[in-house]
Chain A
Amino acid sequence: MTGVRRCSCPDSGERRNSSHLKLTGRFHLIAMEPMAAPVRYSQVAMGTPENKIAAAAPSQQGFVYLPLIAGWLIPGAGHFLLHKWKRGALLSVSIIGMFALGLAMQGRIYSGAHDILDLLGLVGDLGNGLLFLVARAMDLGTEQVQITTADYGTRFVVVAGLLNVIAAVDAHNLRTGRKQ
C-alpha cells in the first residue's frame, strides 16, 4: 500500500515554507513549495519622518507664522485661516466667553508689573491679544473690587489668555503639518 498524507512529525511546524509529506512506511518526502513573495508594507499614512515632511510640504507656502499671530490676536482666527471652522468656532466661543465672563465678574486686568505675581498676571492677560488691548482702551477691569467673584473674574481673564496661547500654538502646529 502506498499513499501520501500529511506528516504529523513534531518538527513539521517549524517548516513554514515547505510541505513536509510522509509516505506510508519509513520514508519522508519534503516537497519544497515556491517561496512566497516577500510582503511589502506600505508606509502611506504612517508617521515616518519622510511622510511628515511630505504632509507638511503643501502647507509651507506663505507665511508660516500667520495662523500663530492671527490666533493670538483674535481667538480662533488661526484655525479659521486653516479652514478648521468648527474647531475655530469652539475655541473662539470658549476663550472670548471666558474673557467676557471674567470682566462681567468685575475681574481685574493687569496693567503693570509691580511684583512677580503682577508680572505673571500681565503675561497671562497679554495672551488675550486684541481682547486685552480693547479692554485696556475701554478702561475695563481697572477698578479693584474686593469680592470673591471679582477674584474669580481676574483668574478667568488670565486663564483665557493662557488658553488662547495654547490655541494659537495648535494653529501653528496645524499649519506646519505637525498636527493633522
Chain B
Amino acid sequence: MFKPSHFAAVVLFALFASVVFGITQRETPRRMLHYGIYCFVLFVGSAIVLSWLMFLIAR
C-alpha cells in the first residue's frame, strides 16, 4: 500500500494533471512546457496558500 504525505499527494496530483493540461491545451512544445509549469505552480501554490489559510482560521 502506498501512503504518501498530504504534500506528496498534492505534488503527484499537480504533476500528472499539469502534464495532461500542457499537452492538450497548447499547440507547440515550448508553449506546452510553459503552460505545464504554470499549471503545476498554480496547483501547488494554491494548495499551500489554502492550507495556511485553513491553518490560521482553525487557530
Contact = CB atoms under 8 A, between A and B. Distances in A.
Interface of B is mostly: helix
A18 interface: no
- Chain A interface residue bracket vs B: 20 to 34
Contacts of A97: 16
Interface of B: 1-4, 6, 9, 12-13, 15-17, 19-21, 23-24, 27
A104 B23 contact: no
B20 A166 contact: yes
B28 to A, nearest CB: 9
Contact of A149 (B2, B17, B19): B2
Interface in A5-44: none
Interface of A: 87, 90-91, 94-95, 97-98, 101, 104-106, 148-149, 152, 155-156, 159-160, 163, 166-167, 169-170, 179-180
Given A91-B19, A98-B13, 13 more contacts: A104-B2, A106-B1, A149-B3, A149-B4, A149-B9, A159-B13, A160-B16, A167-B23, A167-B24, A170-B23, A170-B24, A179-B27, A180-B27
A95 to B, nearest CB: 7
